[in-house]
Amino acid sequence: MTKNIDWGSLSFKYQPTDYRVTASYEDGKWSELELTTDPTVHISECACVLQYAQTVFEGLKAYRTEDGKIVTFRPDLNAQRMIDSAVRLAMPPVPEDMFMKALDMLVKANADWVPPYGSGATLYIRPFIYGSGPMIGVAPAPSFEFRMMCMPVGPYFKEGIKPIVIKVSDFDRAAPHGTGNIKAGLNYAMSLYAGELAHAEGFAENMYLDAGTRTCVEETGGANFIFITKDGKVVTPKSHSDSILPSVTRRSLMVVASDVLGMETETREVKFEEVPEFAECGLCGTAAVISPVGKINDHGREIAFPSGMDEMGPTLKKLYDTLTGIQMGRIEGPEGWIHEIEL
C-alpha cells in the first residue's frame, strides 16, 4: 500500500523510510548486502570519515510511470561514478553489480514510498561509502561502510519553474586537477560558507569559475551549466583542469539534444566573458533536472539572459520536457536508459 502522504507538499528534506541497505568492507572484501530498519549508524569517534572526511556519495531518483512501474534513470552511470569517486579517495569501490543489486533491494523494500505518477514527487536515492574504521595518522580507514537510503522528495519547483538569479563567487569550488570531478562530501563542506553568503545576499546559487585562471565557467555547488546560443546550439562547459563533476543529467541532456532533437551541441571551454552572448542558461542536476537562470550577478554587473525572469527559455524547455518524458516513461529514450525495478 502506497503511504498516505501529501506528496505535493513534500520538499527536499530528510525523512527516514522503512528500510536502507548496508554492507561493510573488512579484510579486503565487501560483506553481503543487508536490509535494515535502523536509520542510525554507530561508529568509532576516530572514524576516518569524522577526522578526514573520507566519504563519497551519489544521488539518483526512482519514478513511478503511468502504467505503475517503478523505474530508475541510467543508474549504471551513478554506479560507475561512485567507483571513480571511491578510487580517488583511496576507498574500496562498490562494484557495479553490487550497486545495482542494492538499488533493486532498496527500492523494492521501500516501494510504498515511491510517489504516485503525476504527483510531481519522486523517490530520491542516496548511496554513500564512508571510512568507518578508526584512523588518527593520515591514511585511509581500515574498514568502510556502504549504505543506500532513500526518501520521497517533492517537486523541485512547487509554483512552476521560475528562473533564478545567481552570483559569481569570490571563492573557488575545486582546485585544478583536485577532487572537483568526483562526488565527495568534502567538495560540499567547503562550499557551505560561500553558499550561505550567496543566500544572505539574495542569490540562489554561486557560479564558480575555474580556480586556476578565473576566466572559464565551471559549475555551481551542485549542478552543471548548459547554455543555448542565439542560433540554437547547446553548449556545456568543459574544464581544462578536470574540475567539473560529470553530471548524469547534463550528459543525458547533451545526448537528447543531438540524438533525439537533432540539435547542434558543443562541449568546450566557455569563457566567462562570452556568457552575455548566450540566449538561455540553465543548471542541470538530478534534483531539478534543469533550473533556468535568469540573471548572473558579477560583482554588481548584471548579465540578464533574453529568456527573462518569467519562465524557462524555449530551447531549455524542449530539452526539459523531452528528458523528463523519457524519465517518466512517456517518451522512448535511448536503449538502456531506463532500469525497471522488479517488484
Ligand X SMILES: *Cc1c(COP(=O)(O)O)cnc(C)c1O
Residues in the chain: 343
Assess 339 for contact with ligand X (CB under 6 A): no
Assess 22 for contact with ligand X (CB under 6 A): no
Query: Per the structure block, which three cell numbers stand in for 311?
Result: 519562465
**Closest CB to ligand X among 253 and 303?**
253
Query: Three-state SS string across 272-322, please?
Result: HHHHHHCCEEEEEECCCEEEEEEEEEECCEEEECCCCCCCCCHHHHHHHHH
Considering only 1-9, 123-131, 218-226, 259-267, which stretch makes contact with ligand X by CB under 6 A?
Answer: 218-226
**Closest CB to ligand X among 222 and 313?**
222
* Residue 183 CB, nearest approach to ligand X (Å): 5
Assess 198 for contact with ligand X (CB under 6 A): no
Strands 60-64, 55-57: parallel, antiparallel or unpaired by DSSP? unpaired
Angle formed by the axes of helices 96-109 and 75-88, to 10°? 120
Assess 223 for contact with ligand X (CB under 6 A): yes
Contact call for residues 209 and 229 (beta carbons, < 8 A): no
Assess 224 for contact with ligand X (CB under 6 A): yes
**From candidates 183, 210, 281, 327, binder to ligand X by CB under 6 A:** 183
SS3 label, residue 270: coil
* Residue 29 CB, nearest approach to ligand X (Å): 28
Q: Which amino acid is at 71?
A: V
Q: What are the residues facing 266 on neighbouring strands?
A: 235
Considering only 64-72, 157-165, 284-292, 314-322, which stretch makes contact with ligand X by CB under 6 A?
Answer: 284-292
DSSP conformation class of 289: E
* Residue 136 CB, nearest approach to ligand X (Å): 29
* Residue 14 CB, nearest approach to ligand X (Å): 17
Contact call for residues 23 and 33 (beta carbons, < 8 A): yes
Considering only 23-31, 123-131, 270-278, 283-291, which stretch makes contact with ligand X by CB under 6 A?
Answer: 283-291
Assess 247 for contact with ligand X (CB under 6 A): yes
Residues classed as catalytic: 183
* Residue 173 CB, nearest approach to ligand X (Å): 7
**Footprint of ligand X on 71-110 (CB under 6 A):** none
**From candidates 93, 115, 127, 285, binder to ligand X by CB under 6 A:** 285
Q: Which burial class, exposed, middle or buried, applies to 244 when counting CB atoms under 10 A from its CB (0-12, 13-18, 19+)? A: buried
Angle formed by the axes of helices 75-88 and 248-255, to 10°? 140
**Closest CB to ligand X among 222 and 292?**
222
Instruction: Give the CA radius of gyration of the chain.
Output: 20
**Closest CB to ligand X among 72 and 224?**
224
Assess 59 for contact with ligand X (CB under 6 A): yes
**Closest CB to ligand X among 133 and 152?**
152
How far apart, in Å, do the first and last CA atoms of the chain sit?
13
* Residue 81 CB, nearest approach to ligand X (Å): 7
Assess 243 for contact with ligand X (CB under 6 A): no
Q: How far apart are CA 265 and CA 74, in angstroms?
A: 21
Closest CA to 18 of 100, 109, 104, 101: 109
* Residue 329 CB, nearest approach to ligand X (Å): 19
Assess 323 for contact with ligand X (CB under 6 A): no
Assess 256 for contact with ligand X (CB under 6 A): no
Residue 34 is inside which H or E element, if any? strand 34-36
SS3 label, residue 79: helix
Residue 39: count other Cβ atoms within 10 Å of its Cβ: 13
Residue ranges in contact with ligand X by CB under 6 A: 59, 183, 219, 222-224, 245, 247-250, 284-286
